[in-house]
Structure 1
Amino acid sequence: MKKIIVTGSNGLLGQKVTDLSIQDPEIELIATSVGPNRHNLKDGYRYEELDVLDLDRLNELVAKYLPDSIIHTAAMTNVDACEAERAKCYALNVQSVKNLVEVCQRMDIQLIHLSTDFIFDGEDGPYTEEAEPNPLSYYGETKLESELILKSSSCRWAILRTIIVYGIVNDMSRSNIVLWAKGALEKGEPINVVNDQWRMPTLAEDLAKCCLLAVKKNASGVFNVSGKDLMSILEIVERVADHYGLNKSLIKAITAESLNQAAKRPKKTGFILDKAILELGYSPHSFEEGMAFMDKQLKSIS
């Protein structure tokens, strides 16, 4: 039996970690997030309100439950908002990790931390775990700094880097690329989509499963954990349209530069996934399989 605390349990990934933990007799889960529990299921785990920036509350919860591992999914991930609200971004993406490292070092708790392809500049993707980071945005800078804090700590840690997480839960706090494209095209709305950036979108269930594999295998080090299909953002949206039989003539290809976004994005990321596959048993779905997986859940929600 592994006792796990997950932060950010109201988010997409956090809810998927909760879903999988409920089904696993080898896991005792304590789900934590800011505010009330938004998961539609309330049984099979405990829920505690927690702001990871409140060190006293964090210490209190960890002393109460004495977990084997903490999975840290809470973060500020809106890249343009991070550029504009730097103090908030630093607090959520860096200070939170400092707080968790302090507790995990003292209590000998494994810390699983989620990171991003945005620590890279996109000039040489797909990337291995050993590739040299060079973030282009403040969001990427904070996620890299949090990685460095872990690497210089004495706690037991694993970093799972991921790319564009998509999926569906009952209570969504924000959309993702699949739901956005599907929703707009179903309404007949024309959409602008960049054709000069490449990514490997990740099904939320795959990432959640890998978080739990990292706990069970006492993983340490850095792991690339994403989908396995490398595509342009344009191709991602076109494949969403194909999957749902929607009108692709509504999709207008544009360059990233024409968007004038506050934060710069890497051109081509993507990951080499061999390490996670071999060492953790990671087995990602294809993009079409991921959308089919979502379809079943959409039917059960509606």
Structure 2
Amino acid sequence: MSNVSNALKQYLKFGISCLEAGNSGSFSSLSEIDVDRAINLLSKFNNAVFIAEDQGQEENGLIVETANKFCCDTSGQVLREAFRLDAKQFIKASADQAEIGLKEILAVLEDEREKILLVITSLEEFAKDERLTKLLQNIVKNSSVPILGTTTIGGFRQLENKTDLAGFLQFILSEKVPQKNKRDKSVLVIGATSLFGNAVYNLFSREYSQVRGTGFSKAFSLGFDKLDVTSEEEIKKYFSKYPDFDIIVYIAGEADADVAEKERDRARILNIDAVSNIARHAKNCKFVYISSEYVFDGSTGPYASGSKADPINYYGRTKLQGEEVSLKNFFNALVVRLGALYGYNGPNDKKTTVSKLIAGLDMLEPLKADNVQIKHPILLEDAARTLLKLLDHEAAGIYQVNGPEGLNKQEMAERIAAVRKEVNGRIFSYPIIGIEQAAVAAKPPNTHMVNVDTPRPFNEGIRFLLLKQKAFKEKENHGY
């Protein structure tokens, strides 16, 4: 895809007003972030699927905007022109032409000399045909044919249950640009001093008109309200003082599985009981509960949001119960299950798997890292932006976000070392040794979840982290 990235980018940015077939997903516009993410995912994973809002019926085909005029690109003429460097065929495969689409796809796949882009509109309708679903699974897993698809939020819900397919598709939840500079809503981030809470607070402060944050031990020093969520009396007082939030994001729970295993009462209070207490005193709000991949046992992924949850440690059980309490007590509550978070807010960040590996690479000795458990790491900024997009789409229920790549700690360390060499010129000249790492809590072997919105790949996330860390240190050294 590298030869056609620029052509595709121009086509997506200036050509497509919407990708529509029947009740398919459509776009009034594609943001710069959407376009860049599509290019990135197509180049690395050979597929990208846009999730957009439900809109009215349009004529089948690609709706193309040129010089303020709209036309249907049913023949693929515009797309072929955009891909003239690399693509010889355009296949429009929509649900109402499934038989034709199937025959065309098979014919082209048999001729390995052809280079095509497969555009599938209304992907959820297309995938209702089991033959086409199996064909798509084969293309996604075993072929070099790039796929660009569209669906809706409702269509995504249908697709994610086909985990053998959806688990390997790279979904892009479309950006919704607010009419005003900021969204006119009041937001409370409970746990804004936490690693993820701070990232959410920073993003939401730029995107919403009114944002408050709470913390506990570090609250005042970081400029947040102090709130002890383990005390119902303190919760009652807080919401008596600030009663009218439109959105409450709860990120104050215990997030360390080993700590939760040792301090069970505290983990239960933070991850479950506090939510019940907030529900009694915070009324008429959109409640968001941040959950975890650890609700799954990790033996049978990829997991859809509706897959059987069967946690194997106490932390996972508290998060699952926290989900249930949230969905039961708040109307249209949103639960977001996250993979392993990493990123950089500042030098006082809580340690993560990635930050510990970076610290290990600073040591002048071999680095030992677990090579058993597979994690799907996700950058803080990407997870926070997906949360923003879910709220923009008025999503409710359970959605999942984890990294697009499954890696054990040894593999992460090897990749971090390679990226550090590129970014900082730092070379780690010692071996990175794979071991089976002991832990207090049982850890699920591989909690690969179906993503509603695919974050950037690990190497790019690490590059972003290191550059951000470098800029912070340079600013600090110059006394800014």
Instruction: Within 5 Å, give how 1:114-263 maps onto structure 2.
Output: 114-245=290-421, 246-247=427-428, 249-256=430-437, 259=438, 261-263=439-441
* Corresponding position of 2:457: 286
For the residue of structure 2 that corresponds to 1:114, the secondary structure is strand
Shift of 1:184: 1.3
Counterpart of 1:298 in structure 2 is 469
Between 288-297 and 129-138, report the one with greater CA deviation.
288-297
Q: State the Cα distance separating 1:135 from its structure 2 match.
A: 0.7
Distance change >3 Å, CA 171–CA 34, structure 1 → 2 = farther
Contact 2:303 2:448 in 1 (8 A): yes
Query: Is it true that 1:76 corresponds to 2:254 in the alignment?
Result: yes
List per-residue Cα deviations over 1:76-101 (Å, max 9, x = no partner): 12211211111111111111121123
Q: In structure 2, what is the Cα distance between the partners aligned to 1:284 and 1:103?
A: 35
Shift of 1:51: 1.4
How far has the Cα of 1:133 moved from its partner? 0.8
Tell me, yes or no, if structure 1 residue 10 matches structure 2 residue 193.
Answer: yes
1:189–1:98 Cα change, 3 Å = farther
Structure 1 runs not aligned, ≥5 long: 278-282
Supply the distance in 1 between the matched residues of 2:411 and 2:336 (Cα, whole angstroms): 25
Quote how far apart the aligned CAs of 1:33 are.
0.7
Contact residue 161 and residue 224 of structure 1 kept, 8 A: yes
**Which residue identity lines up with residue 314 of structure 2 in the other structure?**
Y
For 1:49 and 1:73, the matched residues in 2 are separated by 14
- Structure 2 counterpart of 1:280: none
Q: Would the alpha carbon gap of residues 160 and 99 (structure 1) be closer, same or farther in structure 2, given more than 3 Å must change?
A: same
Q: Aligned equivalents of 1:172 and 1:202: distance in 2?
A: 20
Residues 212 and 27 of structure 1: CA distance in aligned 2, closer, same or farther (over 3 Å):
farther
Paired residues of 1:11 and 1:172 also in contact (CA < 8 A):
no
1:39 CA displacement: 7.5
1:88 counterpart = 2:266: yes
How far is 1:168 from its partner? Answer: 0.9
The CA deviation at 1:248 is 6.5
Q: CA deviation at 1:170?
A: 1.8
Q: 1:27 maps to what in 2? A: 209
More off after superposition, 231-240 vs 109-118: 231-240
> Aligned-pair distance for 1:209?
1.6
Q: Alpha-carbon deviations, 1:154-196, whole Å to 9, x = none?
A: 5331100011100112242421122211121122243321212
Task: Considering Cα pairs closer than 8 Å and 6+ residues apart, tell me whether 1 or 2 has the greater RCO.
Answer: 1
Q: Deviations over 1:175-230 (max 9, x none)?
A: 11222111211222433212121111010111112222233333200000122222
Find the aligned partners of 2:319 and 2:245 in 1 and give their Cα distance. Answer: 24
| Cα pair 1:109 1:156 within 8 Å, conserved | no
Q: Give the partner amino acid of 1:271.
A: M
Which residue type is aligned with residue 300 of structure 1? A
Instruction: Give the root-mean-square deviation of aligned CA atoms.
Output: 1.9
Aligned residues: 284
Query: Per the alignment, do residues 248 and 2 of structure 1 end up closer, same or farther by CA in structure 2, a change over 3 Å counting?
Result: farther
CA deviations 1:226-251 (Å, max 9, x no partner) are 22222223212211111113436432
- C-alpha displacement of 1:27: 3.3
Q: Max radius of gyration: which structure?
A: 2
Residue 263 (structure 1) shift: 0.8
- TM-score by length of structure 1 reads 0.87
Query: What per-residue deviation string (whole Å, max 9, x for no partner) do you get for residues 81-137 of structure 1?
Result: 211111111111111121123234xx1111100111111111012211111011111
- Runs of 5+ unmatched residues, structure 2: 1-183, 422-426, 474-480
Look up the SS of the partner of 1:90 in the other structure: helix
Q: How is 1:19-58 mapped onto 2 (pairs within 5 angstroms)?
A: 19-24=202-207, 26-37=208-219, 47-58=224-235
- 2:329 counterpart SS class: coil
Q: 1:21 to 1:188 in 2, by over 3 A?
A: same
